[in-house]
Every structure is written in C-alpha cells, then in structure tokens.
C-alpha cells in the first residue's frame, strides 16, 4: 500500500511539474500564455528562425499587447539596447509582412519608430522591435538578438525529458536517440542536435554501436524523402580542421571515446574533402563530405532539458 502511495505521489509530482515545464532554458510568462527564451548571441533573421524552430518554438512576434509586454520585460531585464528581431517578415513576398504563425501585420498591434518603415535600399524585409516596443524594418542579414516563443503551458515531457517524441530512451546506454531523416550538412546537423538539447551522437562502446545499427534498421532508405545517400548518417566526430586526425565533438580520440571501428577502406577522404564523421548502416564509421546533406543521429541525456528550480514567471 505504502509503495502504491509513493508511486501515486511520484506520478502526481511528475504530472504537476510536467505542466510547468517545456525546457529549462525557457521561462513561462502567464501574461504571454507561453514560454520565452532570449538568444543574446546575435544571428541573422533566417538563423534565428531556424534555431527557434529546432528548439520546438517560433521566432517571437508581439502578436498582442500581453505578449509584446512580456517580450519587452525580457529585453529590459537583459539591458538589450539595439532591439531584437521579431518573427514578422516579408521573406515570401516583398512588403507582405506576416508573423511566423502567418498572422498579417495589419492584425498585429504595432507602432512604427520615427522614419520607419523606409525599406532602405529596397532591402528591408524583416522587422525589428526596439526597446521602446516600436517597430522598424531592417535588412534580414543583420545579426541581432531574438526571442523564441512557445505558446501554451501544456507541455508533456516524455521519458527523455523533451516534448519531442522522436527521442527514445535506450536502457542499454542510458541515453536518448533521435534519427533525423531530414538531411542536413554536418554543421546544420550539429546545430539541430544542440538546439534540441542534445549533441550529434558519440559512439562510446560496441553496445552503443549496436544501438545505432538498430536505429538505422528502423529507418530504411525507403522511409526517407529526397535525393541523398541514405546508407550513411552524420555523427559526432570531426577532423577539427587538421585533416587526418578525427576527434569526437567532445575532444576525445575515437579510441578514448570507446569506439573506433571504421568500415573497410575508411577513412578514405574520397575526392579529398571528407572531414566530417558519419556511420554506415553497419554502425562502422566513415569520413564524409561536411557540406553534403545526409541523415544524422542525435544523442541526449534524459535530464539535459529538465530544470531543478521552477522557471515560471509570475507576471
Ligand atoms: Ca528601416
Ligand atoms: Ca554516447
Ligand atoms: Ca569516406
């Protein structure tokens, strides 16, 4: 009976904390009816949009007064003077400004800064929010800070501590894995895994190689869309610009990491230029062209996105 009660209490606790959680790097704002995360490192608009998307959110726009006010409170608290990108863009068609959610600018409460919009040099298709809350059109290639927004407090975390159900826990290694079928370059794959709270998979043992092999087996070539080589996937090792020696993305030699079995004839630096780490379906390693797009495998610790303290704002 006592045990059942404990289980129920644990279940209740997990359920309650799940309700309040999305990711520990996001903060919940009641008035915004959702989560916000500030990215201080300036990025161009397209990078900003992609990073929010990969984090499971959207590049934030001041869609209503409450959300605008929450965004401004973050900007003020962080002393950001230059303003930040909103998700409002005219990327698809010049002059047709919409938020990432597809809401037209005419339905978003806004005030223009003095002299704006001026479409300077006919090259300004992204909207910046100044620390006053006023908007200005800017060139989308300008690097600026930005906020990512995830609407609603409802976030159901799985056993990997993420809302992304493509991550599955593997008891043999204690890690979670996700096989990405949408191909990306090695650098973009690194970005995607990092944004999701993990890293490009590092194979640390024969057991983990077996896990990777089985993961590949669940993702046959026919299940992937697009014109790319489907019998390889990027993982977390690289030559770090020192063509010849491969180290993991955590700086270890492959031997130190615990698995260094290359496929026969690999690494072959085919047509001189294979500097990025990959695996074949056999889970044997391969060096591969960094700039080509392939599937990739992310690995994540089940507690990497969980918070120790509440990250809820009472405002
Ligand atoms: Ca302007
Ligand atoms: Ca590993
Ligand atoms: Ca190769």
pLDDT in tens, 109-144: 999 999 999 999 999 999 999 999 999 999 999 999
> Ligand 2 centroid vs 273 CA: distance in angstroms?
26
> Ligand 1 centroid vs 213 CA: distance in angstroms?
52
> Ligand 2 centroid vs 227 CA: distance in angstroms?
29
- Judge residue 156's burial from the number of C-beta atoms within 10 Å of its C-beta, 0-12 exposed, 13-18 middle, 19 or more buried: exposed
Starting from the CA of residue 208, give the closest ligand: 2
Q: What is the pLDDT of residue 154?
A: 74
Q: Is the dihedral of CA 311, 82, 140, 128 positive or negative?
A: positive
All residues with CB under 5 Å from ion ligand 2: 202, 204
> Ligand 1 centroid vs 123 CA: distance in angstroms?
9
Q: What is the pLDDT of residue 268?
A: 92
Starting from the CA of residue 289, give the closest ligand: 3
Q: 223-226: which pairs have CB atoms within 8 A and are 24 or more residues apart?
A: 223/181, 224/181, 224/183, 224/295, 225/181, 226/182, 226/183, 226/293
Determine contact, residues 206/268, Cβ cutoff 8 Å: no
Determine contact, residues 224/174, Cβ cutoff 8 Å: no
pLDDT tens string for the chain (315 positions)?
Answer: 444 444 334 443 443 344 457 999 999 999 999 999 999 999 999 999 999 999 999 999 999 999 999 999 999 999 998 899 999 999 999 999 999 999 999 999 999 999 999 999 999 999 999 999 999 999 999 999 999 999 986 778 999 999 999 999 999 999 999 999 999 999 999 999 999 999 999 999 999 999 999 999 999 999 999 999 999 999 999 999 998 899 999 999 999 999 999 999 999 998 888 999 999 999 999 999 999 999 999 999 999 998 876 666 655
> Ligand 3 centroid vs 24 CA: distance in angstroms?
38
In which residue are the tokens 């997990």 written?
14
Starting from the CA of residue 292, give the closest ligand: 3
Q: What is the pLDDT of residue 309?
A: 67
Burial 182-208 (b: 16+ CB within 10 A, else e): ebbbbebbbbbbbbbbbbbbbbbeeeb
Distance, CA of 91 to CA of 87 (rounded, Å): 11
The 10 Å Cβ neighbour count of residue 172 is: 11
Starting from the CA of residue 258, give the closest ligand: 2
Determine contact, residues 202/238, Cβ cutoff 8 Å: no
What secondary structure letter does DSSP report for 256?
H
Domains along the sequence of the chain with CATH: 22-153 (3.10.100.10), 168-300 (3.10.100.10)
Starting from the CA of residue 285, give the closest ligand: 3
> Ligand 1 centroid vs 117 CA: distance in angstroms?
5
Distance, CA of 218 to CA of 121 (rounded, Å): 51
């Amino acid at each position: 009976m006592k045990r059942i009660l404990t289980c129920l209490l644990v279940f209740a606790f997990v359920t309650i904390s799940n309700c309040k959680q999305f990711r520990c790097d996001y903060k919940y704002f009641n008035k915004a009816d959702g989560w916000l995360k500030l990215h201080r490192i300036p990025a161009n608009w397209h990078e900003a949009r992609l990073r929010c998307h990969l984090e499971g959110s959207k590049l934030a726009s001041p869609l209503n007064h409450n959300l605008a006010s929450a965004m401004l409170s973050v900007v003020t608290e962080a002393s950001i003077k230059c303003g930040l990108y909103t998700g409002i863009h005219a990327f698809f068609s010049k002059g047709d400004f919409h938020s990432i959610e597809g809401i037209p600018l005419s339905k978003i409460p806004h005030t223009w800064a003095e002299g704006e919009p001026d479409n300077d040099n006919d090259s300004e298709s992204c909207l910046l929010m100044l620390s006053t809350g006023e908007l200005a059109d800017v060139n989308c290639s300008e690097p600026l800070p930005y906020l990512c927004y995830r609407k609603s407090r409802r976030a159901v975390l799985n056993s990997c501590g993420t809302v992304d159900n493509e991550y599955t826990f593997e008891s043999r290694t204690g890690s979670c894995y996700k096989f990405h079928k949408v191909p990306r370059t090695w650098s973009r794959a690194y970005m995607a895994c990092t944004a999701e709270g993990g890293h490009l998979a590092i194979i640390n043992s024969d057991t983990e190689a077996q896990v990777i092999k089985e993961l590949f087996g669940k993702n046959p070539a026919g299940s992937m869309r697009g014109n790319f080589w489907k019998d390889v996937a990027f993982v977390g090792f690289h030559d770090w610009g020192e063509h010849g020696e491969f180290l993991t993305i955590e700086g270890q030699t492959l031997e130190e990491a615990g698995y260094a079995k290359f496929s026969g004839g690999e690494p072959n630096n085919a047509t001189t230029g294979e500097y990025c780490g990959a695996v074949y379906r056999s889970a044997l390693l391969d060096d591969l062209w960094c700039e080509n797009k392939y599937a990739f495998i992310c690995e994540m610790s089940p507690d990497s996105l969980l918070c120790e303290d509440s990250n809820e704002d009472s405002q």
